[in-house]
Amino acid sequence: MATTNPPSTDTLDARLSGLDALELELRPPRRRSARIWSHVWPKALAAAIFLAFWQVVVWTGWRPSYLLPGPEPVFHTLYSSFGSLMDAARTTLGRAVVGFGLAVVLGTLLGAAVARSRILRAAFGSLITGLQTMPSIAWFPLAILLFRLTNGAIIFVVVLGAAPSIANGLISGIDTIPPLWLRAGHVQGARGLGMLRYVVLPAALPTFVAGLKQGWAFAWRSLLAGELLVQIPGATSLGERLEFAREFSQPTSLIAVMIVILVIGILVDELVFGTAERAIRRRYGLVDEAD
């Protein structure tokens, strides 16, 4: 293996950089404004179509306008009672954050425990999926018995609604790691905790975040159901405002509250989870850069 005339590195160098230059795709990045616009306009169009449809239904006179008001009076109410609606939204979002936070902790611990062992997975895997499909409103009678009409009852149901999705996201994230990655980790010297920290957890991250996103959707739904059923004196929440508007036959404020609920759901989904998911997907090379 004596080093007799190794290949001239100058030409090898030139050849490699030539190949590198030719193999890399050249695609000019799109401007940021163009990218944002391409995300915004389809959503704006969808909202416009929805509003138009709503207005048309009102114009047909299918229900009298004191039961089904059009967009214009609803947005007027939304505007005039914006302050108190935001107060209610704060109460509701506060519960959502607490409930979802607990669900993340519980779901992650549960998912990590179950994913580690084949026996636990066989035992609890289908149970977790079963819990996920169970309508959260079915938990309320039990929650009210256990916690009475308190904040605790609502949080209890929110956690039970969201935790299974989060646990499932982590479990399937760990289950679907390509075996090659584990082998590659092993030959690089990763064992036990090192393997978990540097290979398993990052590899499971995209699926885990998808689970968080789904967990949030369940949490938000359970929470609103809870606020309709469990009314706590003193605290005005979005759910209570809905119930109140129905009892006093105020369809404009009822629909205004619904719009607030919808918009918060969309905003959190898009801004928090959508952004995280897109960032991860881009980082992991799971999206076409042109998107």
Residues at the site binding another protein, with contacts judged by CB under 8 A:
1-10, 12-13, 15-17, 19-20, 23-24, 180-181, 183-184, 186-190, 194, 198-199, 202-203, 205, 283-286
User: How far apart (Å, rounded) are the C-alpha atoms in residues 234 and 151?
Assistant: 12
| Cβ-based nearer residue to another protein, 147 or 198 | 198
| Cβ-based nearer residue to another protein, 5 or 60 | 5
| Cβ-based nearer residue to another protein, 177 or 235 | 177
- Work out how close the CB of 199 gets to another protein at its nearest, in angstroms, rounded to a whole number: 7
User: How far apart (Å, rounded) are the C-alpha atoms in residues 215 and 165?
Assistant: 5
Q: Residues 151, 112: contact at Cβ < 8 Å?
A: no
- Work out how close the CB of 202 gets to another protein at its nearest, in angstroms, rounded to a whole number: 5
Tokens found for residue 167: 């646990």
| Cβ-based nearer residue to another protein, 30 or 43 | 30
Give the number of residues written for the chain. 291
Tokens found for residue 105: 């902790």
Give the E-state strand segments of the chain in sequence order.
none
User: How far apart (Å, rounded) are the C-alpha atoms in residues 190 and 198?
Assistant: 8
Give, in degrees to the nearest 5, the angle at Cα 171 between 166 and 172.
100
| Cβ-based nearer residue to another protein, 131 or 199 | 199
- Work out how close the CB of 17 gets to another protein at its nearest, in angstroms, rounded to a whole number: 7
- Work out how close the CB of 19 gets to another protein at its nearest, in angstroms, rounded to a whole number: 6
- Work out how close the CB of 34 gets to another protein at its nearest, in angstroms, rounded to a whole number: 21
